């Protein structure tokens, strides 16, 4: 009788664990999809960021001001190029890992699982270094730095700077999705260990 | 007889696993100590970075050049301040986790273990964002950016810039130590799961 009871209890616990496994499996799929989408939009938004403005330049007080077109492009700044490349790599890996996660939904053990966690970890490093680089250059562009005599440029290229900020925020959320993915994988392994 | 043999084999395997556990335990201690030391030196090196130079400035062709002292300090640039703070936080956490690791050498299971892995993960994000920020500003200081009209400053503050580079390299190795720590923890949990 006791044995039968235990069997029933085991069955319920097994089912509950299975259900939990599926729930975490779905959460992983959602996070991977978010990571993919956010890094994709971040890369595109900064990659195509460009603004041309007509700025009046006065050479002499006797002559009228010249109207000179000046252009800001993301490819002009190494930090922005690095950001676009970092987000593109993270986006490609998110898509690949999403496809792999679909194939073994509900979790699973295998060397691929371990490799995915380690590469997720590398994506965190890559994305956060890109966010730091773009954030630092963006901040100087926004506020300038009198000590270095680097003037702010965001008063001229307002739209360009706003697009950088938007891209930065999206990439940050994408990077947080990767942090949550690794935390999820670790807690999953921890519960099984 | 067979049972006794199996018992012997089990014993050997148990001892081998225990040995492996100790080896990984020592590796964790070494990595944590390295992370602590590298982030500590990186924070100090950039925190105290300062250079004063006498620069001749000519106002008029009739007058002799003025000798003006100009100073570069890490606190002048927000990205460098962020870098120092990030490395200080990572250093403090490395010291704390090192103390905790000493107490349960050879590994162990507990909620503290899980918390340490997640905070290790946050340290990776923190350090890499600081490295990205300092690297981006350092690169512009080194090469300048003609599009933004930000002139290079490392031709004037050579010693200052070299110290930034040294600090950056140390912090990068410290951040890699954290990546290895999380990878180690994950592979340990994976082998147990």
pLDDT by residue (tens digit) across A14-42? 555 555 555 668 899 999 999 999 999 99
Cα angle A106-A109-A110, degrees, rounded to a multiple of 5:
130
Q: Say how far residue B52 (Cα) sits from the centre of its chain.
A: 27
A51, A159 contact by CB (below 8 A): yes
Interface test with B, best of A189, A191, A192 (most B CBs within 10 A): A189
What stretch of H or E contains B182?
helix B158-192
Q: Which of B148, B183, B192 sits opposite A153 (nearest CB)?
A: B148
The answer to whether the Cα torsion of B157, B161, B164, B170 is positive or negative is negative
- Considering only CB atoms, which chain B residues are within 8 Å of A125? 124, 128, 175, 179
Res A46 pLDDT > 80: yes
How many Å separate Cα A36 from the centre of its chain?
8
Question: Helix, strand or coil for residue A189?
Answer: helix
Give the pLDDT of residue B4. Answer: 47
Percent of chain A's residues with pLDDT above 90 = 60
Least CB–CB distance from A189: residue in B118, B136, B189: B189
Of B130, B134, B193, the CB nearest to A193: B193
Within 10 angstroms of residue A82's Cβ, the number of other Cβ atoms is 19
Residue in this structure with the two tokens 């080194």, named with its chain if needed: B142
Residue A31 in contact with residue A76, Cβ under 8 Å? no
Taking an 8 Å cut-off on Cβ atoms, the answer to whether B189 and A186 are in contact is yes
The mean per-residue pLDDT over the stretch A159-182 comes to: 96
**Residue B183 to residue A118: CA distance in whole angstroms:** 6
DSSP-assigned letter for residue B145 = B
pLDDT value at residue B17:
52
Give the tens place of pLDDT for each residue, B65-105: 888 888 889 999 999 999 999 999 999 999 999 998 888 75
Q: At A47, is the secondary structure helix, strand, or coil?
A: helix
Chain B interface test: which of A129, A144, A153, A156 (most B C-beta within 10 Å): A129
Residues of A in contact with B186 (CB under 8 A): 114, 117-118, 121, 185-186, 189
Q: Which residues in chain B land under pLDDT 50? A: 1-5, 106
Kindly determine whether residue B124 and residue A124, on different chains, have CB atoms separated by under 8 Å: yes
Cα separation, A107 vs B120, whole angstroms? 24
Two tokens at B34?
A: 């390295």
Higher pLDDT, A3 or A36: A36
Q: What is the pLDDT of residue B152?
A: 92
Please check the confidence at residue A86 and state whether its pLDDT lies above 80.
yes
- pLDDT at residue B105 in the model: 53
Q: According to the model, what pLDDT value does residue A12 have? A: 57
DSSP secondary structure string for all residues of B76-98: GSHHHHHHHHHHHHHHHHHHHHH
Are A151 and B149 a contacting pair at CB < 8 A?
A: yes
Average the pLDDT over A108-117 and give the result.
82
pLDDT given at position A8: 57
Cβ–Cβ of A140/B137 closer than 8 Å? yes
């Amino acid at each position: 009788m006791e044995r039968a009871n235990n069997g029933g209890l085991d069955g319920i616990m097994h089912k509950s664990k299975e259900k939990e496994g599926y729930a975490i499996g779905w959460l992983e799929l959602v996070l991977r999809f978010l990571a993919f989408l956010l890094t994709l939009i971040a890369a595109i938004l900064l990659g195509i960021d460009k603004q041309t403005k007509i700025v009046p330049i006065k050479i002499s007080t006797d002559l009228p001001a010249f109207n000179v077109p000046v252009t800001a492009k993301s490819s002009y700044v190494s930090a922005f190029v690095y950001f676009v490349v970092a987000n593109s790599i993270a986006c490609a890996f998110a898509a690949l890992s999403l496809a792999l996660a679909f194939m073994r939904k509900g979790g699973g053990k295998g060397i691929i699982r371990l490799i995915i966690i380690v590469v997720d970890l590398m994506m965190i490093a890559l994305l956060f270094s890109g966010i730091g680089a773009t954030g630092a250059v963006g901040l100087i562009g926004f506020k300038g730095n009198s000590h270095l005599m680097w003037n702010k440029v965001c008063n001229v290229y307002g739209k360009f700077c706003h697009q950088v900020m938007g891209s930065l925020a999206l990439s940050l959320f994408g990077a947080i999705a990767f942090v949550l993915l690794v935390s999820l994988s670790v807690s999953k392994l921890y519960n099984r260990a």
